[in-house]
Amino acid sequence: LIPLYILYQKYEVLRTPLPFLVPALFGQGLKGALFVIIFRQFFRTLPKELEEAARIDGASAFRLFIKVMLPLARPAILVVFLFSFVWHWNDTYLPSLFLGKEYATLPLQLDNLQSAMGDVPGYVDTSITEQVYMAASFWFVAPPLLLYLIAQKWFVQGVERTGLVE
C-alpha cells in the first residue's frame, strides 16, 4: 500500500474519492481475480454452437461479444456488481487510508459515533447506548440489503449460471 499511497499523493488525489473508485472500476486486486473466475465460469456454460452460429452469420469478434454474449451475461454482470458493491461497502481500511474525514464511509462513521454524538446540541449523555449503535448499524446494512432485495431474482439466476456454490 505504500507505493499506492505515494502514487496517489504524487497525482494529488488523496482525500478525494478517486483512489477508492478508480481501482474498483477496473477490478484491481483479489476482487478482480474473483470476478474473472465468475465470468469465466459463466461463459464456459454457454454452448459453443451459439458462437459458431454467429460466426457463420458473419459476426466479427466484437459484434459477437456485444450482440450475443453481453446480453446473455446480464446475470453474471449483476453477480459481479453485487459482490463488488458489498465488498466496497464493507471496506474500512482503504477508505480510512485514502479518503479522509470529508468522504468517510458509513462503517468509519459508525466507529466515530461516540465523538459525533457529543457535537449534537442538547445531547448530555456521554455514553452511547447499545440501542443507538444498533439503529446506526441498521442504516449501515440497509442499502446493500435493499439492493439485494431488488435484484434477488437475477442474482439467484446469475449464481446458478456461474456455477458458484455456497
Task: Classify the C-alpha dihedral 9-27-152-64 as positive or negative.
Answer: positive
SS3 per residue for 99-149: CCCCCCCHHHHHHCHHHHHCCCCCCCCCCCCHHHHHHHHHHHHHHHHHHHH
C-alpha cell at 11: 497525482
CA gap 146, 150 in Å, rounded: 6
In this structure, are residues 75 and 158 in contact, taking their beta carbons and an 8 Å threshold? yes
What per-residue confidence (pLDDT) applies to 161? 63
How far does the chain reach from its first CA to its final CA, in angstroms? 31
H/E element, 159? helix 152-162
pLDDT in tens, the chain (166 residues): 888 889 889 999 888 888 877 877 776 766 788 888 888 988 888 888 989 999 999 999 999 999 989 988 888 888 888 888 888 888 888 888 888 777 777 777 877 776 676 666 666 665 666 777 788 888 888 988 999 888 888 777 766 665 544 4
What per-residue confidence (pLDDT) applies to 60? 93
CA gap 115, 163 in Å, rounded: 46
What per-residue confidence (pLDDT) applies to 166? 43
